[in-house]
């Protein structure tokens, strides 16, 4: 163990990382490695002389060119996805520089929709594990596992957790859902500048009802049907307590939870910790942002709007709620605003005679059926 510290300068910024690692250990750490862009001063201090080609690049351009060429030679989108995450495993700086430069081309590959294919095959294509795997059969070890990430209380701003019950459009994928948390954080970094060293992707492994996974000898997760009820709730409570204790300033982001749990969890914790459900609040905010522009450009009033939403799940009703609240802010009563929104799902328009088949958060939007 080296006791002396050396600083590694970032590329195109003033960020510095202090490390006691030397030689090959520097190159093996994707958060430290920056390939041929290490300066001679850094090579001397970190013991890298002879471990890198002698050519020194003052920027990432040569590495970006090589990486882009390799990316585009990959034969399928899934191969491109795997290449990008193996690049991430080797050099985080280069990964994000490449992704940011070619965001429109690469974001659909790194995240949605190709991440869905990667999740379906995660147990077969897993490379270097990233993030934290929390299993419902070891609730007493949640704090220990979060601590193993090696971050202190002031090091983390955001935790993205999924129980993977309703991943994108592909459903229940158990522990494979860690990839949705990883991919979401890549989006936050590439598109919004969130520091990738101050986040933690998490999967809350509560089992799976996906029989394909349960029968797969390579499956990486808890081989059990989904746990529900009080045991599930206690596990979520334990996760929140541990996260709040270890990272008191961090926001808890909930990703791709099932419709029966998403709202309940958000309501339970929204007044206790900084918390955010992407499917309910994030999707709704994007749609509302578009509608704010539409109402302004059409020179109409919110009190004049009538809205039909196709899809009445977690996201669809989350959108409806935000539109309703916007109407209320502009003087429409909540009951009247609710009546101006129609929800259509697989059975058709949600109506009051479907009450036994509706979720609690859908009921207020159900229309009175006349015969």
Instruction: Tell me whether residue 365 is one of the annotated catalytic residues.
Output: no
d(CA 157, CA 247): 8
Indicate the SS3 state at residue 150. Answer: coil
Q: How far apart are CA 338 and CA 336, in angstroms?
A: 5
Write down the residue that tokens 């129980």 correspond to. 163
Among the listed residues 111, 122, 232, 365, the single catalytic one is 111
164 HSE (CA, 13 A, CB side): 34
The DSSP bridge partners found for residue 158 are: 199, 251
Provide the β-strand partners of residue 171: 167
Cis amide prior to 113 (ω within 30 degrees): yes
Active site residue 122: no
Question: CB–CB of 202/132 below 8 Å?
Answer: yes
Q: Which of 209, 206, 214 is nearest to 236 (CA)?
A: 206
Q: Which position among 96, 184, 222, 239 bears the catalytic label?
A: 184
Active-site positions read: 111, 184
């Amino acid at each position: 163990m080296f006791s002396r510290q050396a600083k590694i300068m970032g590329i195109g910024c003033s960020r510095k990382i202090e490390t006691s690692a030397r030689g090959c250990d520097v190159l093996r750490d994707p958060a430290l490695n920056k390939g041929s862009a290490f300066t001679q001063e850094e090579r001397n201090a970190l013991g890298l002389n002879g471990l890198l080609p002698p050519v020194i690049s003052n920027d990432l351009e040569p590495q970006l060119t090589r990486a882009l060429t390799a990316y585009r030679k990959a034969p399928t989108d899934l191969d491109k996805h795997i290449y990008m995450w193996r690049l991430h495993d080797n050099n985080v700086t280069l990964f994000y520089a490449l992704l940011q430069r070619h965001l429109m081309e690469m974001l659909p590959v790194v995240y949605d929709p190709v991440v869905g294919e990667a999740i379906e095959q995660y147990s077969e294509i897993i490379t270097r594990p990233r993030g934290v795997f929390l299993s419902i059969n070891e609730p007493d070890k949640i704090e220990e596992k979060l601590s193993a990430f090696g971050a202190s209380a002031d090091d983390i701003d955001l935790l993205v957790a999924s129980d993977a019950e309703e991943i994108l459009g592909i459903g229940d994928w158990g522990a494979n859902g860690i990839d949705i948390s990883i991919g979401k954080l890549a989006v936050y970094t590439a598109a919004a500048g969130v520091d990738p060293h101050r986040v933690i992707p998490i999967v809350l492994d509560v089992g799976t009802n996906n029989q394909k996974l349960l029968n797969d000898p390579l499956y990486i997760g808890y081989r059990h049907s989904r746990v529900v009820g009080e045991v599930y709730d206690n596990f979520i409570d334990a996760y929140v307590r541990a996260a709040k204790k270890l990272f008191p300033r961090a926001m808890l982001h909930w990703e791709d939870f099932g419709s029966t749990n998403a709202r309940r969890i958000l309501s339970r914790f929204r007044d206790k910790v900084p918390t955010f459900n992407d499917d309910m609040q994030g999707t709704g905010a994007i749609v509302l942002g578009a509608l704010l522009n539409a109402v302004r450009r059409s020179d109409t009033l919110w009190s004049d709007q009538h809205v039909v939403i196709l899809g009445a799940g977690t996201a669809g009703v989350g959108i409806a709620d935000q539109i309703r609240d916007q109407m209320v802010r502009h003087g429409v009563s909540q009951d009247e605003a609710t009546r101006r929104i129609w929800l259509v799902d697989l059975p058709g328009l949600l109506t009051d005679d479907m009450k036994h088949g509706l979720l609690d958060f859908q009921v207020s939007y159900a229309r009175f059926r006349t015969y």
